[in-house]
Structure 1
Amino acid sequence: MPMPFSAHEDHNLPLQKFESMLKTNDVYFFDSEDFQEIIHHYLNIGKVSLAKKALQISLKQHPASTELKLLKVEILVFENHFDQAENLLEELQFLESTNEEIFIQKANIYSKQDKHSKAIELLSQAISMTNDNSSIYSLLGMEYLFVDDFLSAKNAFIQCLSEDFEDYGALYNAVYCFDYLEDYDGAIEFLNDYLNKNPYCEIAWHQLGMQFGYKGRHKEALSCFDFAVYSDDTFVGAYLERGRSLERLKRYNEAIENYEITLELEDPTSFAYLRIGKCHQRLGNMELAKKFYYKTVYEDPLLDKGWIAITDFYYKQKNYEKALHYINKAINIDSENVLYWKRCAKINAHMSLYIEASHAYKKTLELGNYELQTYLSWTDLMLEHYDYDVAVNYLLQALEFYPDHADLEYRLAGMYYMLKEQSNGDFYLKKALEHNFEEKETMEILFPEVYNQEAVKNIISSFKNPST
């Protein structure tokens, strides 16, 4: 029988020796640290069965190892065997009452059971047991996020960074908290402080640029994205945001250059194609704009914004037939988008497709869009097609949302007059004149034959000359 040997004879081969051991009946000896590395390796690549095999062997060789037992807890928790994990943790805590890892694992169990307040309590206790607290503060921050305590979460992530300024996960999370709290000035101050300690951190420069962008300070945002690119000239996200800043500053050719760099650094993205198309359209390069819009939807056929860009492109050219074709593609992808239905209604109206336009306007209301302009556009369309009864119903509905609104009242008056309902027409005309006399031309423009009636002129005149 071969003599057991230590894996430390070659520090680079513990994993290979362990896998060799599994293929034979030989028994090799590994120290506890090597077993921990082997188990972590298998857990990291998702081979839980091999991790469990390594753990089983390791505990036979090192039955008193707390670290290996904690790894057993980790696997039990991963497999949702919470009771077994808690029992083992209780045994370990009895032996090592100040081991912070025991409290961390207990907190992990509570977190998975959605008992986040208890997890926070245990992590707070763990912090007092060690000087290496950065990872615990990061876990604590995540627990605060689970209970929507963004202020406490932000402070925890900042504390984590104060101990380990290269924990970029904590950096992202801290900025996320600032964003959620809409504390953009606080985020700018925090990121500037961070960059004083880590001036070549492209992530921090990128995030600082985003904050300036939220505040509309696009020149400062652009400078930050410049620094992000200087720190890492392969940082695609920085080139994209630099392009966006340049767009907002109306420097469209430079924006295109930055978007094109991203196409060289990584596989082409529909977002970059879309932005290039938008820039070309603003520069008046219509054929190039169209080319990149089509590239956008070819790259990602499910990107509704790409189809909308093509829709708007043809709409502006008054090519309503093609605009209708592409708005329908966008609606097929996102049928709950009010803006798409509003575009659909306008396009159908331009094509004199009254039924289709009316259906689209109705759909916007069903989706909760009660904008005044939607009511006005739709009822004006009904007026063109002499659908007075239906128009009246929707105008009355609109008045519930916009009481005493003269635009609605003038239209209601005109519709009632067209329906020969003189008293209702008089009532709403007087209300409209009372609320906004200056808009009386609405009657003249939309209802010329009504406006020229002697009775209507007399009502308008009485408001112009109240003494009469």
Structure 2
Amino acid sequence: MQLSNEEDDYNLSISKFESMLKTNKVLFFDSEEFEEIILHYLDMGKATLAKKALKLGLDQHPKSTGLRLVQVEMLVFDNKLDLAEKLLQELYAIEPNNEEIYIQKANIYSKRDQHEKAVEFLKIALQHTEDFADVYNLIGMEYLFMDNLELAKENFIKCLEEDLEDQSALYNVVYCFEFLDQNLEAIAYLNKYINKNPYSEIAWHQMGRLYYDLKDYENAIRAFDYATLIDDEFLGAFMEKAKAYERLKKYDLAIESYNRTIALDDATSYALLRIGKCHERLGNTALALKYYNQTVHEDPLLDKGWIAITDFYLRQKNFQKALFFVNKALAIDNQNRLYWKRYASINKEMNFFEEAEFGFRKAVEFGDTALDTWLFWVDILQFLGEFDSAIQTLLQASEYFPEENEIEYRLAGLYFMIQDNTKAKFHLSNALRLKFDNYILIEDLFPVVWSKKIVQNYIDKHNNTNDTK
């Protein structure tokens, strides 16, 4: 009941202040009311109204330390650090034991990237404060800025010892443990924390995430279960639980959890996509297709959705449908290398080699540097009789894969095809050195070259040389 009265008073102060602004009548507020009004507008991002309230507040209470400290906070926010520092010196002369003075001094040094100095002032603030949790949290943040994760973690833990309910500190503790690659230690800490605060859905959720990262999916699900029992609308925990069920190949249970996230909020393209994947793995092809279609309808810019539906038809060997959907995807985003690679692969399957060559070229142009992309592209160029282009493409690929035998064998074959035997033998020698047994590539890809006596002799010579070593 008391809390309700406080809220009513707070709302009344805001209404009264806004009414005063509209009527231009000057009304009286005590200094604490002004502080609440100013902080209210700052929280809402209404800096102009906050400054107006501060000016009126200082007019009515020129000696209020609280209002002048709020003024300092606003000056720091506006990056007027020298002015803020000067005002703090005046306040220090009046109230040297006010912890907020040291906190604001620390804030100024933090803004100047002098984080060690900021910590010094925060440690002084600890000597004068009753709110130890808040100061430990601020010290932890300063150590985070300095990339000193151990000391940051230590101070966030101290913060939680003072205030178990500080969720930001709890998230930060787990972050520090994870950054330091201390997942098992983090789980041990969370177990201790949960013993003191068993109904913290955040702690259970974080524990589930840690177990998931350790690939301990059973324990992850157990932790997520507790999180969702405490808060049956904890969307993130249901989502993580669904992912863990997928890892365990319990696709029906995964679908159930994904559906719970949809019931809690509007359907997300990610949840729809995962439900589609689960149905496909269960052999429910019609349902899989339904959810893939819903995915691309929900978010046409999600490449994973278009890829899922295209790959679905590829697995069904329905190349016409696959091509239809990849063309729709390209109409939305024609600079997506994943789309172009599939466009190329589908056309290759349909024996549309010029279109396939164009697709692989575009995939590389937009950042696909995977080895198989280069090799598919080159093999099509060779099939089309574009030997010079194929050679230039392989030389480009060799910059990414300088010691790749499949590139060297192809270069050897192509140079033999254009009668440049010197370069051909150079690359064949490289290829045989890198992986001798793969010389069958010459036979498979270049039967005309394979039949040449010079090639057979060169391979035999290399083999004999290896035998004598």
- Interval containing the TM-score (normalised by the shorter chain): 0.7 to 0.9
Partner of 2:290: 291
| Alpha-carbon shift at residue 43 of structure 1 (Å) | 3.0
2:181 matched residue in structure 1: 182
The alignment partner of 2:272 has SS state of helix
Closer, same or farther in 2 for the Cα pair 1:385/1:16, shift >3 Å? closer
| Maintained 8 Å contact 1:154/1:177 | yes
Distance 1:394 1:22, change over 3 A: closer
Q: Distance in 2 between matches of 1:329 and 1:119?
A: 55
Which range moves more in the overlay, 230-239 or 349-358? 349-358
Match of 1:407?
Answer: 406
Q: Report the more deviating stretch, 455-464 or 437-446.
A: 455-464
Residue 230 (structure 1) aligns with = 229
Residues 238/61 of structure 1: CA separation in 2 closer, same or farther (3 Å cut) = same
Deviation at 1:364, TM superposition (A): 4.8
Shift in Å, 1:62: 3.2
After superposition, what is the alpha-carbon deviation per residue over 1:351-404, rounded to whole angstroms, capped at 9, x for unaligned?
444454434434554566544333322222222222222222333444455445
Equivalent residue number for residue 446 of structure 2: 447
The answer to whether the Cα contact below 8 Å between 1:89 and 1:106 also exists between their aligned partners in 2 is yes
Q: Which residue in 2 is equivalent to 1:4?
A: none
Aligned partner of 2:160 in structure 1 is 161
- Change over 3 Å in CA distance of 1:19–1:380 after alignment to 2: closer
Paired position in structure 1 for 2:379: 380
- The question of whether the paired residues in 2 share the 8 Å contact of 1:59 and 1:65 is answered with yes
Structure 1 match to 2:44: 45
The number of equivalent residue pairs is: 461
Change (3 A) 1:454 1:24: closer
- The match for 1:220 is 219
User: What amino acid is the match of 2:176?
Assistant: C
CA distance in 2, matches of 1:224, 1:419: 65
- Which is further off, 211-220 or 77-86? 77-86
Deviation at 1:172, TM superposition (A): 1.6
| 1:97 partner SS | coil
Q: Distance in 1 between matches of 2:254 and 2:367?
A: 37
Sort the Cα spacing of 1:324 and 1:133 in 2 relative to 1 into closer, same or farther, 3 A: farther
State the SS of the aligned residue for 1:268: coil
Q: What is the CA–CA distance in structure 2 between the aligned matches of 1:404 and 1:57, rounded to whole Å?
A: 74
Counterparts of residues 391-402 of structure 1 (less than 5 Å): 391-402=390-401
Matching residue's letter, 2:190 = L
Q: Report the more deviating stretch, 458-467 or 266-275.
A: 458-467
CA gap 1:97/1:289 in 2 versus in 1, 3 angstroms? same
1:405 and 1:59 map into 2 onto residues whose CA distance is 74
**Which amino acid letter does the alignment assign opposite residue 228 of structure 1?**
A
2:144 paired residue number:
145
Residue 277 of structure 1 contacts residue 289 of structure 1 at CA under 8 Å; is this kept in 2?
yes
Judge conservation of contact 1:209–1:222 (CA < 8 Å) in 2. Answer: yes
Between 1:208-217 and 1:73-82, the stretch displaced more is: 73-82
Q: What is the identity, as a one-letter code, of the residue corresponding to 2:414?
A: M
Normalising by structure 1, report the TM-score: 0.87
**1:346 maps to which residue?**
345
Give the AA of the match of 2:233: T
Supply the AA of the counterpart residue of 1:161: L
Unaligned runs of 5+ in 2: none
Contact 1:411–1:443 (CA<8 Å) still a contact in 2? yes
Matching residue's letter, 1:315 = L
Alignment match, 1:125: 124
Amino acid at match of 1:245: A
TM superposition score normalised by structure 2:
0.86
Residue of structure 1 in register with 2:81 after alignment: 82
Distance 1:360 1:150 in 2: 47
* TM superposition shift of 1:171: 1.4
The secondary structure found in structure 2 opposite 1:210 is: helix
In structure 2, how many angstroms separate the alpha carbons of the residues matched to 1:44 and 1:138? 20
How far did 1:264 drift?
A: 1.3
Change (3 A) 1:74 1:360: same
Q: Distance in 2 between matches of 1:117 and 1:351?
A: 66
Structure 1 partner of 2:299:
300
Counterpart-to-counterpart distance in 1, 2:318 and 2:126: 66
* Paired amino acid for 2:149: F
**SS of equivalent residue, structure 1 residue 166:** coil
The within-5 A match list for 1:310-321 is: 310-321=309-320
| C-alpha RMSD of the superposition | 3.1
Q: Give the aligned partner of residue 64 of structure 1.
A: 63
Distance 1:394 1:40 in 2: 63
Other-structure match for 1:199: 198
Residues 305 and 330 in structure 1, CA contact (< 8 A), matched pair in contact too:
no
Are the structure 2 counterparts of residues 25 and 385 from structure 1 closer, same or farther at C-alpha, using a change threshold of 3 Å? closer
Give, as a single letter, the amino acid of the residue that structure 2 aligns with 1:264. A
Question: 1:233 is paired with a residue of what secondary structure?
Answer: coil
**Alpha-carbon displacement from aligned partner over 1:238-288 (angstroms, at most 9, x marks no partner):** 111111111111011111111111111122211211111111111121221
Q: Paired residue for 1:245?
A: 244
Query: Residues 25 and 248 (structure 1 numbering): CA distance in 2 closer, same or farther, change over 3 Å?
Result: closer
Moved more, 122-131 or 243-252: 122-131
